[in-house]
Amino acid sequence: MLDIPSRVRVHVETLLAAQNNMGVCDAFQQYAPVWKPDAMNAPHPPKVAGIDPTVPTPAHTVASASAVSGAPSVPGAAAVPAPHAPAPGALLQDRLAGWVSDLTTLHELTERLSRTSTLDAALHELLRAGAALVGARRGLAVLEPADGLGPRTTLGLGLGRADLGHLETVPRGALPYDTRGGAEILHPDLFAEDGLDPRHREVAARLGYSASYALPLATESAGRLGAAVWLYDQPAEPHERRRHLAGLYARHATEHLARLLEVERTRARVAAITDGLLPARLPRVPGVQLAARHHTGPCGGGDWYDALPLPDAALGLSVGSVTGRGPSAVAAMGRLRASLRAYAVMEGEDPVAVLSDLELLLRLTEPARSATALFAYCEPALRKITLAGAGHSPPLLTGERRTEFAETSVSAPLGMLACWEAPSAEVQAEAGETVLLYTDGLLHRTGDPADRAFARLHAAAASVPRALRHDPGAVADHVLRTVLPDGPDRPDAAGGTEDVVLLAARFD
């Protein structure tokens, strides 16, 4: 931070007036002079997205009093200021104005960075802002945490996937950046350097860059996370002031990336635990084909699905959701699913008894938690399904001749009443029809009210192409793409934190 005395008052009329109608960076570019080529060893400074990316010198920089007056001193004569000489203290005021301008620029850029919530978005913002600070057009960021826990990724600004692939062929020691070092790396003129690696020279010529400036993404608290490098089309060297601003910004970006990295790792761990508690593969039962799709929310939820072979060539299908989020909900889901499997083996032909026992267990062992569940006892040879639901959405039956929701009794979720009980329902499927079991997360991710979400799901199932209906996995994928066109992992404001479960069973 710059040490500016609190008694010093800075009057920056141009900057303050410009801020009323535009951003700080835009005000700099419109009202402040641009550096001359000798301050930046590039004959034609590049541009970023049509905007001059330079960070100009302070708009109020003036020459010294002696340089402006240009008159020789007369011995014994009183010093008479030149007509355009600055007032006393003007030079200090001008320097302070430049410092305030720099701090305002950093504040605006770091504020944009702080609004990013994913690693990819933060890295893209880092490259974009850094390019504006150092006057470059292209760049790339390499994330390689020193602890080896990952994730490892490389993102480019103005560089395609093929361009990044070419850079990866350069020997690690000859790259224009170093993810293991702790200092900036400057190559003002790559092709004029002695000892440049031949492969690096070849790649630079292919990609069309002649200079580079790299900064490490490392701080004492965050450790070494990687590096960012910006590429110039012509020989160039960032001014010292530019490098100072870029270094301050990179240190702040590293701290932000470290926080996002920890969040990303936590989400990955929760997702791995959740996947480990769910079936690794679905059973093969004659007369029915199965497919499942599961997407864990960013906070980790308690949604589950299961398919269990039962005696007499029967099949038990279940989906459900435990209230709450995070590791505790995931653990409760695992306990509840394991208990349901045991009850299904003992009395699976009676779905009501299975859910009644599950409700009693939940009420005795976890009285503060509730859950929704649906259990179906399937007889593939007869294409008959007997099911019971506890506060759960009804299954959807779809085929070439019909697409309709199965009629089930309305009941409360498990753990909501002193004693749960509801009548079961029977569904008779036809050959080639698919039964879709799903959790409420699929409906909530749409962001629509319940009636519109059900209508969207119905329309998606009815629109499955005939050529895909023989494959339950293709049916499930089509339904997900249609109901959630932006993907099941989008951060929707209504339900972006919930799990999505879809279990499809096609009867031969």
Q: What is the pLDDT of residue 288?
A: 95
Q: What is the pLDDT of residue 276?
A: 83
**Inter-residue contact 286 to 305 (CB < 8 Å):** no
Rounded to whole angstroms, the Cα distance separating 175 from 154 reads: 14
Q: What is the pLDDT of residue 195?
A: 86
Q: Which tokens belong to 198?
A: 């031949």
pLDDT per residue as tens digits for the range 306-341:
999 999 899 999 999 998 888 888 889 999 999 999
Q: Which tokens belong to 70?
A: 């240009």
Burial level of 141, CB count in 10 A (0-12/13-18/19+)?
Answer: buried
- The angle at the Cα of 88, spanning 85 to 94, to the nearest 5 degrees, equals 80
Q: What is the pLDDT of residue 489?
A: 59
Q: What is the pLDDT of residue 53?
A: 43
**What is the edge-to-edge ordering of all strands in the sheet holding 302-310?**
302-310, 314-322, 371-379, 384-390, 425-428
- Regions in the chain scoring below 70 on pLDDT: 1-88, 418, 487-496
Residues pairing with 434 in the sheet: 398, 506
Q: Domain 13-57+88-266: give its CATH code.
A: 3.30.450.40
Return the SS3 of 405.
strand
Query: So where are the chain's domains?
Result: 13-57+88-266, 278-507
Q: Which fold has domain 278-507?
A: Phosphatase 2c; domain 1 (3.60.40)
Q: What is the pLDDT of residue 80?
A: 46
All residues at 6 or more sequence positions from 212 whose CB lies less than 8 Å from its CB, including other chains: 176, 177, 185, 186, 187, 190, 229, 230, 231, 232
